[in-house]
Structure 1
Amino acid sequence: MGNREDLMAGAKRCLYEKGYGRTTARDIATASGVSLAAIGYHFGSKEALLNAALIEATGDWGEGLVTVVASAASMSDDPEERFVAVWDGVKETFVEHRGLWAAQFEAVVQVEHAPELRQALAATQKEARLGLAALFQGLAEVSDTEEELARGTFYQALLAGMALQWMAAPEQAPTGRDFLQGLRLVGGSVLKPATA
């Protein structure tokens, strides 16, 4: 690996261990075995490096999510059972990636005072939503349509809500079955019945 890759790996390690706000440039340099000056040379600033590391670490987590969804799809042909299995599997990923989720929530809180962070996170929203829409439908990719963006937005909201509840109290976080029951109840009270 070169200095740039070492810095990225060190920054991701710091995000997991120290969080977004508590990570210093010196922490990253130490974790990566690279000089402080290399951060500025390769990324411009510690913040730019942390933003890139946060996005890349989230992508790494997403690769594990692909396995969760594939495993759920192979368990049952019943869409409801697959839905439950996927969301139970998602919850399990939080255990290994707790530091990442803590860093993400910490970063989101700081966007009011960090325009470059807001811009970095905003730049990934559409891609993330389309990626989630494809993933949860078992597709390689989906078209950039309003329907797929809406689907991805729904999944992103469920994911962030589950992560937040799990971070606060893992034992009280919703299960896949809780989500399925909620979907039935909300759908039943909001959606108009299909006409024949």
Structure 2
Amino acid sequence: MGNREELMAGAKRCLYEKGYGRTTARDIASASGVSLAAIGYHFGSKEALLNAALIEAVGEWGGGLAKVVAVADQVSGDAEERFVAVWEGVKEAFAEHRGLWAAQFEAIAQTGHAPELEKALADSQKEGRLGLAALFQGLPEVPDTEEELARGMFYQALLAGMAAQWLAAPEQAPTGRDFLRGLRLVGDAVLKPAAR
């Protein structure tokens, strides 16, 4: 591995262990075994490196999410049971990647003061939404359409909401069955024809 790759790996470790805001350039250099000067040479700044590391780590988490969906596909051919199994698997995946989710929320809270971070997160939104739409539907990919983006936005909102609840109180985070019940209740209330 070269210095650039070592820095990226060290930055991801720091995100998991220290978070976004508490990670210093010295922390990254120490975790990667690379000089402080290499951060500027390869990435321009600590922030640019952390932003790239965060986006890459989230992408890697998405790869793990694909495995969760594949396992759910084996549970049942029934769409509702698959939905429940996916969200149960997502909940388990949070435990393994708690540091990453905490770093993401921490980073999001700083976007108003960090234009580079705001741009990095905004630039990844569309790809992330289409990826989530494909994953949760059990498809290798989906077309770049308004319909698929809307599905992706919905899954992204559920995912971020579940992550926030899990980070705050893991034992109180919704289960897959809770999500299914909520989806039914909201669907009934919103999609039911208005009484005349």
* TM-score band, normalised by shorter chain: over 0.9
1:62 paired with 2:67, answer no
CA distance, structure 1, for counterparts of residue 75 and residue 178 of structure 2? 19
CA distance, structure 2, for counterparts of residue 61 and residue 127 of structure 1? 14
1:131 match: 131
1:25 match: 25
How far is the alpha carbon of 1:41 from its aligned partner? 0.3
Aligned to 2:13, the other structure's residue is in SS state helix
User: One-letter code of the match for 2:187?
Assistant: G
2:14 match: 14
How far is the alpha carbon of 1:192 from its aligned partner? 3.5
User: One-letter code of the match for 2:78?
Assistant: D
1:122 match: 122
Aligned to 2:110, the other structure's residue is in SS state helix
How far is the alpha carbon of 1:15 from its aligned partner? 0.3
Q: Which runs of 4+ in 1 moved over 4 A?
A: none
Task: Calculate the aligned-residue CA RMSD, in Å.
Answer: 0.6
1:102 match: 102
Counterparts in 2 of 1:1-196, with a 5 A limit?
Answer: 1-192=1-192
CA distance, structure 1, for counterparts of residue 143 and residue 78 of structure 2? 25
User: One-letter code of the match for 1:169?
Assistant: A
CA distance, structure 2, for counterparts of residue 189 and residue 35 of structure 1? 58
CA distance, structure 2, for counterparts of residue 149 and residue 10 of structure 1? 33
Q: Which digits, 9 at most, give the CA deviation of each residue in 1:71-114, with x for residues without a partner? A: 00111011000000000000000111000000000000000100
Q: Which digits, 9 at most, give the CA deviation of each residue in 1:144-182, with x for residues without a partner? A: 111000000000000000000000000000000000000
Gaps of 5+ in 2: none
CA distance, structure 1, for counterparts of residue 192 and residue 99 of structure 2? 42
CA distance, structure 1, for counterparts of residue 165 and residue 116 of structure 2? 27
Aligned to 1:142, the other structure's residue is in SS state coil
Gaps of 5+ in 1: none
Aligned to 1:84, the other structure's residue is in SS state helix
User: One-letter code of the match for 1:54?
Assistant: L
Q: Which digits, 9 at most, give the CA deviation of each residue in 1:24-56, with x for residues without a partner? A: 000000000000000000000000000000000
Q: What percentage of residue pairs aligned between the two structures are identical?
A: 83
User: One-letter code of the match for 2:71?
Assistant: S
CA distance, structure 1, for counterparts of residue 166 and residue 50 of structure 2? 24
User: One-letter code of the match for 2:60?
Assistant: D
How far is the alpha carbon of 1:183 from its aligned partner? 0.3
CA distance, structure 2, for counterparts of residue 82 and residue 160 of structure 1? 20
User: One-letter code of the match for 2:16?
Assistant: Y
CA distance, structure 1, for counterparts of residue 83 and residue 60 of structure 2? 22
CA distance, structure 1, for counterparts of residue 65 and residue 139 of structure 2? 13
Aligned to 1:141, the other structure's residue is in SS state coil
